[in-house]
Structure 1
Amino acid sequence: MLIKIRPDGIDLPLSSEITPRAVFESRRDFIRQLAVGSIAGTSLYEMANREAFAQTPGAQKLAAGTNPAYALMSEKKTPYKDATTYNNFYEFGTDKSEPAQNSGTLKTRPWTVTIDGEVKKPMTLDIDSLMKLAPLEERIYRLRCVEGWSMVIPWIGYSLSNLIKKVEPTSNARYVEFITLDDKKQMPGLRSPVLEWPYVEGLRLDEANHPLALLTFGMYGEVLPNQNGAPVRIALPWKYGFKSAKSIVKIRFLKDQPRTAWNITAPHEYGFYSNVNPDVDHPRWSQATERRIGEDGLFARKRKTLMFNGYSEVASLYSGMDLKKFF
């Protein structure tokens, strides 16, 4: 059973603590039910995950050769079941099990992504054309969540810089904004005021051009499951997970820094940069250690959090910056 634990040994604060009281109270009801289920030998959380996993249809295979530069051969990959049933995707619910349970309503075909703003060649591409824009490759990336847990996932995609070159940003372009699907019929979580919708994230243009920034279409040799951001998302392994926007419908190139979802909701807790930094604590818990999902359960030894999640090659992007101020 997966239990949220803070680095100091106390139960980890839930990511929804900043949500309206009604949402928080519903979580407390869920925890009470969870305790009752545990007495019977199997938690409701585990039962929900098993049900969701069992109902996942066979996914389309997605061929891609592994890029040895991003193989992480010394680290064990997170089990597929854990990676697909323990998710943050608030458009489908705020509990970790809800995206797997609720995202079956998402229709990923037809799907188009519009790229516009400060570019010389704006375009709108259907998802299949977007996938064929550059050769796909598998990259095994660490993912670090701001809540204190991590995973190791084999993503499939190509460097975002390939798309950026195609649209030719103008000299005014300094930022890239990612806008996600906003459809209450497909995404029941959008009825909640937990965030300002649609979900928006952003990067500086030089960050978006870094080879590590991955435009992502699959994982574990298959197309992305709905709960993991189908049909297209960003994977940014040196930043906290919420920066990696899911189910993207628009990419805009801007002169000014975009307003992003979590930074709007709680700017004192979620900065624009949100680089993984063990020396900058979240206001309510330490970021110095992390818990690897799928690794020995409750008794797993916590890992030390690495600066930039271990991806030191991005350090030059922030040369001369105070990373405690620009968190």
Structure 2
Amino acid sequence: MRPCLTSSSPPGWNGREQDVTDPGVYQHRRAFLRQLGLGTVGLLTAGSALGCAREVAPGASATPEGPLDTIPSNAPRDGYPAPRDARFTVERAATDRLSASSYNNFYEFIGDPSDIKKVWPYTGDYEPFPWTLRVGGLVERPFEIGLEDLFREMGLEERIYRFRCVEAWSMVIPWTGFPLRKLIDRCRPLSTATHVRFISESRPRQMPGVRTQPWYDWPYYEGLRLDEATNELAFVATGMYGEPLTKQNGSPLRLALPWKYGYKGPKAIARIEFVNEQPATFWNDLQPSEYGFLSNVNPNIPHPRWSQASERFIASASNVNRVPTELFNGYGEWVADLYPDEPREPTRPMAR
């Protein structure tokens, strides 16, 4: 997910800052549903489909019927639903599927600049499959592989992770996929490799946001230190809620990095490159004072335009709670040793 650069405060939030849902959330429920891309009829329709998202056939360029109708019909399904890794559990209930598929940052699919979270209606032309992932750079074994073969080789599992957007909202998502470390072991990085660069797909004909926003330096690109990429938490997500990814959630594969802000997890990854220096990243190139390379979730470092001390947790459209933000999004036991210089006390805004 990507940050919004146009608003002066985190978008879409009303109501008081407190630990439980207040009446203001319910009073603004219709407005929130509009942000999710649903009217009254849409809510009723989607509500009947919460248990299972519907597929969209290749070549179907019409606007999807709803946010749960955007799984490509030719997405590989072997291994779904995957066994759950019990090490990764969250004390909160998972965000409902409708909200997680309706309120999305995916700039490649922005179709209405006045409602940039409502991207699912603009995914109809996107046909991600067949898909080839290319891995190279400073490695012993560069390779290209189709996703069906990759998924079969890597094996799939489910992990429930917290997700924290830099815009101060959060969700809990059950991801399906495999540890990034498995893919890294396959290509055997050279001793000179220090970082990993990720490049997303860019298809102007299929992605309206790419076509209508030429001022962005497409394709989207991100990066990690090699020790971050090989951390046990770093996860290549191929699905969510027991099924393949919807288009608006990053089909066919994306990164899930639960200790970092969402924009560090690129979607629709096409290439992975191993390099010997810190790579440039999309949002840091655009606004280096606001979006750093590390971008760890840290309540002690405010964004220049809003606090990061708390977040709006989206359980569903009618259940949005203000909760404190935890350092590393609560995953300190897994990653704190990687960042001895990460501020543990309140400090000024800075890009890290």
TM-score, normalised on structure 1? Answer: 0.83
Residues in 1 aligned to 2:116 and 2:351: alpha-carbon distance in whole angstroms: 29
Deviations 1:10-43 (A, max 9, x none): xxxx813189xxxxxxx9xxxxxxxxxx99x776
Q: Which blocks of at least 5 consecutive residues in structure 2 are unaligned?
A: 12-26, 43-64
Equivalent-residue separation in structure 2 for 1:18 and 1:258 (angstroms): 27
Label 1:48 to 1:209 Cα distance change in 2 as closer, same or farther (>3 A).
Answer: same
Distance apart, 1:96 and its partner CA: 4.4
CA 1:58/1:166 → structure 2, altered by over 3 Å: closer, same or farther? Answer: closer
Question: Which of 221, 225, 231 is the aligned partner of 2:246?
Answer: 225
Q: Provide closer, same or farther for how the CA distance between residues 210 and 55 of structure 1 changes in structure 2, counting only shifts above 3 A.
A: closer
Question: Which residue in the other structure is 1:69 paired with?
Answer: 87
Unaligned runs of at least 5 residues, structure 1: 1-13, 20-26, 28-37
Q: Compared with structure 1, are the counterparts of its residues 146 and 54 closer, same or farther at alpha carbon in structure 2 (3 Å cutoff)? A: closer
Rounded to whole Å, the distance in 1 between the matches of 2:131 and 2:290 is: 33
Q: What is the CA deviation profile of residues 230-286 of structure 1, one whole-angstrom value per residue up to 9, with x for unaligned ones?
A: 001110000000000000000000001111100001000000000000000000000
Q: 1:158 aligns with which of 161, 166, 178?
A: 178
Deviations 1:54-84 (A, max 9, x none): 6446866522100000022x21100000000
- Over 3 Å counting, the alpha-carbon distance change for 1:297 and 1:18 in structure 2 is closer
Quote the residue 1:10 is aligned against. Answer: none
Alignment of 1:1-327 (within 5 A): 15-17=4-6, 44-45=34-35, 48=38, 50=42, 52-53=66-67, 55-56=69-70, 62-72=80-90, 74-93=91-110, 95-191=115-211, 192-193=213-214, 195-295=216-316, 297=318, 300-312=320-332, 313-320=334-341, 327=352
Letter in 1 for 2:201: L
Per-residue CA distance 1:84-143 (angstroms, 9 max, x = gap) = 010000000163443211112221211001000000000001111121222211000000
Q: Percent identity?
A: 43
Q: Structure 1 residues 182 and 18, CA, compared in 2 at 3 Å: closer, same or farther?
A: farther
After superposition, the C-alpha distances for 1:176-219 in whole angstroms (9 at most, x for unaligned) are 00000011011110120453211001000000000100011000
> Is the CA contact 1:133–1:163 (under 8 Å) kept in the aligned structure 2?
no
Change (3 A) 1:97 1:254: same
Structure 2 CA distance for partners of 1:68 and 1:252, relative to 1, 3 Å: same
Give yes or no for contact 2:300–2:343 (8 Å, CA) kept in 1: no
Letter in 2 for 1:306: E
Look up the match of 1:22.
none
Relative distance call for 1:144 and 1:57 in structure 2 (3 A) is closer
More helix by share: 1
- Could you tell me which residue of structure 2 aligns to residue 9 of structure 1? none
Q: Distance in 2 between matches of 1:180 and 1:136?
A: 22
Q: How many residues align?
A: 294
Which residue is 1:31 aligned to?
none
Of stretches 77-86 and 51-60 in structure 1, the one that deviates more from structure 2 is 51-60
Q: Which amino acid aligns with 2:66?
A: A
2:71–2:246 CA contact under 8 A, matched in 1: no
Assess if the C-alpha contact under 8 Å between 2:68 and 2:246 holds in 1. no
Is this contact kept in 2: 1:115–1:251, CA < 8 A? yes
How far off its partner does 1:224 sit? 0.5
2:281 maps to amino acid: T
- Residues 146 and 79 of structure 1: CA distance in aligned 2, closer, same or farther (over 3 Å): same
* 1:274-319 CA distance string (max 9 Å, x none): 0000000000000000001135747x44100000000012001112
TM-score w.r.t. structure 2 length?
0.77
User: Distance in 2 between the 1:112 and 1:46 partners?
Assistant: 31
- Contact persistence 1:141–1:155 (CA under 8 A): yes
| C-alpha distance 262-96 of structure 1, shift in aligned 2 (>3 A) | same
Q: What is the Cα-based RMSD across aligned positions, in Å?
A: 2.6
